[in-house]
Amino acid sequence: MIIILKPHASKEDAQQLLSQIEAKGLKPLYMPGVERTVLGALGDERVLQSLHLESHPLVDEVKPILSSYKLVSRELYPIDTRVKIGRHAVGGEGFTVIAGPCAVESQAQLDGIADYLTHHPVAAIRGGAYKPRTSPYSFQGLGEEGLKILKATSERSGLPTVSEVVDAADAELMAQYVDCLQIGARNMQNFRLLEAVGKLDTPVLLKRGMSATIEELLLAAEYIVNAGNPNVILCERGIRTYETATRNTLDLNAVAYLKRKTHLPVLVDPSHGTGVRELVIPLARAAAAVGADGIIVETHTNPAQALSDGHQNLDPQQFDDLMSSLKPFVEAAGRSLK
Ligand code: PEP
Ligand code: MN
């Protein structure tokens, strides 16, 4: 429920109402605004009705939150959330580019990639240390050694880092090494993992499951925010359809829909979304045009030698092309690359 207070209600009045809400076992939310204070009460709405807030002298209006997700909905928070990765804010008027290899392979590999990324307005470097691979015989990542490499590259280049967490038990350790924790498509509904990253304050990049509905993605984000971490960035990375020409079908509907329904920033991953190197640039431009807050792309100094996802990685020249051909689309969308 959303409870809109009368203009003259004071902070103390609000606190008193919040205590009553909490005493009923509901989660109280305090959202002071310029003109009005808005309160939230999350939980069983029948319990709230017993407080008869509609007839309270300081309450102007009581409105239900119609969506199944609450904390991540625009109904509750109409203003865009910005999530900071290092010093870079994702969301707002900037357009974020996160780039790097699929997997961290060696110190030299990651440093080599960081070297050309730093010539561009790139917000962070990505790279998996723990890789959730479809086959158990594929490269599984370097584990903690990969995290150490990410940290060293970050210190050397000044780029913040994004890396995937695959196990709730690793979340705290990873947060000591990286600036943003990615939850991959295969783990979007690993609820214990969502709760584990929800207990931290490290930003989380939550990717949509390949068979997940948009509502399921938003409810997965709700788990993280409800556990206490408001720093969630959503990512559309393609879904599985009957189409076989591309690895996945990048669902740009989802991006436009998400931007209407949630205040969280939304990124697009055109690398996994298409699985085809030549399609990454056009779909990155489409992401800017449809209103995404940024992209996350795979790039490698030598894609032919990459230990994972080489077929969809851009080489340094192609990465240059991406950045220069993206710029006019970003600007046409009223944003800037930074
Ligand atoms: C990745 O980003 O390398 C990755 C495995 O992505 P996804 O979870 O979207 O498949
Ligand atoms: Mn990959």
The pLDDT of residue 33 is: 87
Q: What is the mean pLDDT of residues 242-260?
A: 98
300-331: per-residue pLDDT in tens? 999 999 999 999 999 999 999 999 999 999 99
Q: What is the mean pLDDT of residues 55-65?
A: 94
Under 8 Å between Cβ of 203 and 181: yes
Taking the alpha carbons of 166, 170, 172, 178 in that order, is the dihedral positive or negative?
negative
Span from the CA of 269 to the centroid of ligand 1 (angstroms): 9
Q: Ligand 1: which of 207, 268, 312 to mutate, judged by most atoms within 8 Å of the beta carbon? A: 207
CA 143/CA 167 separation, integer angstroms:
12
Nearest CA to ligand 1 atom 9: 185
Q: Which amino acid, residue 158?
A: G
State yes or no: pLDDT of 270 exceeds 80. yes
By CB atoms closer than 10 A (0-12, 13-18, 19+), residue 67 is: middle
Span from the CA of 47 to the centroid of ligand 1 (angstroms): 41
Q: Give me the chain's average pLDDT, please.
A: 96
Q: Count of alpha carbons within 13 Å of 329, Cβ hemisphere only? A: 21
Categorize the per-residue pLDDT at 120 as very low, low, confident or very high, splitting at 50, 70 and 90. Answer: very high
Ligand 1 atom with the smallest distance to the CA of 238 is 9
Ligand 1 atom with the smallest distance to the CA of 207 is 9
Ligand 1 atom with the smallest distance to the CA of 237 is 9
Nearest CA to ligand 1 atom 3: 102
Categorize the per-residue pLDDT at 171 as very low, low, confident or very high, splitting at 50, 70 and 90. Answer: very high
CA 297/CA 277 separation, integer angstroms:
10
Overall pTM surpassing 0.85 (yes/no): yes
Residues near ligand 1 with C-beta < 6 Å?
A: 102, 128, 184-186, 207, 237, 269, 272
Span from the CA of 272 to the centroid of ligand 2 (angstroms): 6
The pLDDT of residue 44 is: 86
Among residues 321, 317, 237, the alpha carbon closest in space to that of 281 is found at 321
Among residues 269, 251, 292, 286, the alpha carbon closest in space to that of 80 is found at 292
The pLDDT of residue 47 is: 87
Nearest CA to ligand 1 atom 8: 184
State yes or no: pLDDT of 126 exceeds 80. yes
**Phi, psi dihedral angles at 280 (to 5 degrees):** -65, -45
Span from the CA of 208 to the centroid of ligand 1 (angstroms): 10
State yes or no: pLDDT of 176 exceeds 90. yes
State yes or no: pLDDT of 110 exceeds 90. yes
State yes or no: pLDDT of 46 exceeds 90. no
CA 133/CA 139 separation, integer angstroms:
7
Q: What is the mean pLDDT of residues 41-66?
A: 91
**Phi, psi dihedral angles at 282 (to 5 degrees):** -60, -40
24-34: per-residue pLDDT in tens? 999 999 999 88
Q: What is the mean pLDDT of residues 66-71?
A: 95
Ligand 1 atom with the smallest distance to the CA of 132 is 5
Span from the CA of 158 to the centroid of ligand 2 (angstroms): 23
Nearest CA to ligand 1 atom 6: 184
Span from the CA of 111 to the centroid of ligand 2 (angstroms): 18
Categorize the per-residue pLDDT at 86 as very low, low, confident or very high, splitting at 50, 70 and 90. Answer: very high
186-207: per-residue pLDDT in tens? 999 999 999 999 999 999 999 9
Span from the CA of 102 to the centroid of ligand 2 (angstroms): 4
Q: Ligand 1: which of 183, 237, 247 to mutate, judged by most atoms within 8 Å of the beta carbon? A: 237
Instruction: Tokens for 224, please give them.
Output: 């993280």
Categorize the per-residue pLDDT at 266 as very low, low, confident or very high, splitting at 50, 70 and 90. Answer: very high
The pLDDT of residue 268 is: 99
Q: Ligand 1: which of 269, 280, 300 to mutate, judged by most atoms within 8 Å of the beta carbon? A: 269
Q: Which amino acid, residue 133?
A: R
CA 92/CA 79 separation, integer angstroms:
10
Among residues 179, 209, 177, the alpha carbon closest in space to that of 193 is found at 209
Span from the CA of 249 to the centroid of ligand 2 (angstroms): 15
Under 8 Å between Cβ of 209 and 186: yes
The pLDDT of residue 34 is: 85
Q: How far is CA 20 from the centre of its chain?
A: 34
State yes or no: pLDDT of 48 exceeds 90. no
Span from the CA of 309 to the centroid of ligand 2 (angstroms): 5
State yes or no: pLDDT of 3 exceeds 80. yes
Under 8 Å between Cβ of 253 and 261: no
User: For 262, which DSSP code?
Assistant: B
CA 106/CA 63 separation, integer angstroms:
54
The pLDDT of residue 338 is: 76
State yes or no: pLDDT of 18 exceeds 90. yes
Nearest CA to ligand 1 atom 5: 184
Ligand 1 atom with the smallest distance to the CA of 235 is 9
State yes or no: pLDDT of 142 exceeds 80. yes
As a residue count, the chain comes to 338
